Amino acid sequence: MNIGLTGGIACGKSTVSRLLASRGAIVIDADILAREVVEPGAPALLEVVRTFGQSVLHEDGTLNRKELGKLVFEDEARRKRLEELLHPAIIQLLQERMAEAERLQPDKLVVADVPLLYEAQMEDLFQEVLVVAADRGVQLERLMTRNGLSREEAEQRINAQMPIEWKKEWADTVIDNSGTPEETERQVEAFWRKKRLA
Ligand code: ADP
């Protein structure tokens, strides 16, 4: 069985992923796949260079993220074009990895950690979606601490995402990570048992 795991920034997706992995789930991290699809030699990187020019490459042929970031920053059309190039490649790789995991270890729970699952309308790729949520104040404090951001910067990042309330509404299961790590672990354990018995 496969599960998509998502939630707001700094709500605790990685924390819950780790707890599931330690119980035996196979975790696939979409952020890592997003880097893989632009590695040297990858077709999506060629497309990015064709669209945005050679300046997005370092001399050694790796992607110059800073330069690409500059080009798409504050240019909605370019940002959209970049997403259109990368999303299909990421989705394809994710589907391949999930299918491979399910084929090789059919009795394992496969969990895909996909921060922008709902924003990218990827819910149909998964049998179920698990949302990790935290109260806004807690989320803000944790984001400021983890990323060394001011309150204003952290608020901007949270506001740039889809409201967590919507994600909670659409989820098959919600884990509330506003409390202590122990409280979260109890919820993960309950979820794990339910899925193991299903
Ligand atoms: P995400 O992957 O959703 O961005 P993380 O799992 O990295 O979120 O959690 C965000 C930050 O909050 C991290 O620094 C993490 O160590 C911390 N954190 C997560 N859950 C808790 C918790 N229950 N209590 C205290 N700190 C937490």
Neighbours of 51 (CB within 10 A): 14
Q: What is the pLDDT of residues 180-192, one digit of tens each?
A: 999 999 999 999 9
Q: What is the pLDDT of residues 20-52, one digit of tens each?
A: 999 999 999 999 999 999 999 999 999 999 999
| Confidence band, pLDDT 50/70/90 cuts, at residue 157 | very high
Q: Which tokens is 70 given?
A: 């500059």
| Residue 148 confidence (pLDDT) | 97
- What are residue 27's DSSP bridge partners? 111
Torsion of the alpha carbons at 76, 81, 83 and 89, rounded to the nearest 10: 180
From the CA of 134, how far away is ligand 1's center (Å)?
10
From the CA of 113, how far away is ligand 1's center (Å)?
14
Q: Compute the mean pLDDT over every residue in the chain, rounded to the nearest whole number.
A: 96
Rounded mean pLDDT of 65-89? 93
122, 4 Cβ separation under 8 angstroms: yes
From the CA of 106, how far away is ligand 1's center (Å)?
30
Ligand 1 atom with the smallest distance to the CA of 181 is 23
From the CA of 183, how far away is ligand 1's center (Å)?
13
d(CA 16, CA 187): 10
d(CA 189, CA 168): 19
Q: What is the pLDDT of residues 131-148, one digit of tens each?
A: 999 999 999 999 999 999
Q: Which tokens is 52 given?
A: 């945005």
In percent, how much of the chain has pLDDT > 90?
Answer: 96
Q: Whose alpha carbon is nearest atom 9 of ligand 1? A: 12
Q: What is the DSSP letter of 162?
A: P
Q: Whose alpha carbon is nearest atom 22 of ligand 1? A: 181
Question: Could you tell me which of 113, 88, 98, 109 has the C-alpha nearest to residue 37?
Answer: 88
List all residues whose CB is within 6 A of at least one atom of ligand 1. Answer: 7, 9-15, 142, 146, 177, 180-181, 184
In percent, how much of the chain has pLDDT > 70?
Answer: 99
State pTM to two decimals: 0.93
CA 106 vs. chain centroid, Å, equals 23
Residue 110 amino acid letter: V
d(CA 101, CA 134): 30
| Confidence band, pLDDT 50/70/90 cuts, at residue 196 | confident
131: domain CATH number is 3.40.50.300
Ligand 1 atom with the smallest distance to the CA of 11 is 3
d(CA 38, CA 23): 31
From the CA of 16, how far away is ligand 1's center (Å)?
9
| Confidence band, pLDDT 50/70/90 cuts, at residue 198 | low
Q: Give, to the nearest 10 degrees, the angle between helix 151-159 and helix 136-147.
A: 120
From the CA of 49, how far away is ligand 1's center (Å)?
36
Range of the domain at 192: 2-197
| Residue 14 confidence (pLDDT) | 97
Q: Work out how many domains the chain is built from and give that number.
A: 1
| Residue 124 confidence (pLDDT) | 96
